[in-house]
Amino acid sequence: MSAPTTATHELEAVFADDGGAQPTREHVEQLLTALEGGSVRAASRADDGQWHAHDWVKRGILAAFRLSETVEMDWPGGGVDRSLVPARRITAGDGIRLVPGGTSVRRGAHLAPGVVVMPPSYVNVGGRVGAGSMVDSHALVGSCAQVGEGVHLSTAVQLGGVLEPVGARPVVVEDGVFVGAQCGLYEGVVVRRGAVLAPGVTLTAGTTIYDLVEQREVRGEVPPDAVVVPGSRPARGDYAAVLGLSLYAPVIVKYRDSSTDAATVLEESLR
């Protein structure tokens, strides 16, 4: 993220939780414009590699809803929503391919140049999608979710959103990640750079991921370059044993290498 500007510091002061200045609609508009332009974001990575939410940004987004009225939207297909957070109007000058067919990108969401969004998809307020990434059909980038550069979100991928509590970390997908069809990422889970998630993987911050390569268990994040597939493990107890029941258990089966990259060449060509 670029160095904070004077205007950013002023907005932070307005939305800080210190009982200071009361935010206005003009402050909200400035924040949403800054989010769309990428100079402000809902979460960022610290020098130690950890991701942290910017609670003042979330307070600003919540203020947008609080200061809005519910109105009818002049938009293809119609709609009724809060007045300060309508759908964005993307233009050719934004450098984005927004394929027609039901997609909506909400005010306050950042799409960097080179992003491709296939229909129908939805990018919510505070969401961020980095340069050269693809958001495939039926995908959701939830409120404040952070998606890096060169990421592929396949069909029906769901990235959960979070506005409250304001200090909660959003879902983060770092650069170069491939997320297979119908994956679900929720509760602030972090997928580190270069990881590959096979179709159908579901992860939360509390999900245990079993690493068969390093023989360890990890929670809250997927390690860099890890290849994760859906798996199962026997459920505990005699009753489960009699019925042969098992529980969902995502598994790291390998770490990304040249053969894994070759398997994603087709996906790269779609960008």
DSSP for 59-84 reads HHHHHHHHT--EEE--STT--EEETT
Residue among 199, 187, 204, 167 at smallest CA distance from 263: 199
How many CB atoms are closer than 10 A to CB 89?
10
What digits encode the pLDDT tens for the residues 198-209?
Answer: 999 999 999 999
Which residue carries 């996906």 as its tokens? 267
Provide the residue ranges of all domains of the chain, joining segments of one domain with +: 6-71+81-269
How far is it, in rounded angstroms, from Cα 21 to Cα 11? 10
pLDDT tens-digit readout, 100-121: 999 999 999 999 999 999 999 9
Question: Do the beta carbons of residue 143 and residue 32 sit within 8 Å?
Answer: no
> Which segments of 101-182 are extended strands (E)?
104-105, 110-111, 116-117, 122-123, 128-129, 134-135, 140-141, 146-147, 152-153, 158-159, 172-173, 178-179
CA–CA separation, 72 and 30 (whole Å): 23
Residue 257 pLDDT > 80, yes or no? yes
User: Quick one: average pLDDT of 67-75?
Assistant: 92
The whole-number pLDDT of residue 266 equals 39
In the predicted structure, residue 256 carries a pLDDT above the cut 50: yes
CATH 2.160.10.10 fits 6-71+81-269, yes or no: yes
**For the whole model, what pTM was predicted?**
0.92
Q: Are 51 and 147 in contact (CB under 8 A)?
A: no
Q: Band of the pLDDT at 264, cuts 50, 70, 90?
A: low
Tokens of 11: 């907005």
pLDDT tier, 74 (very low <50, low <70, confident <90, very high otherwise): confident
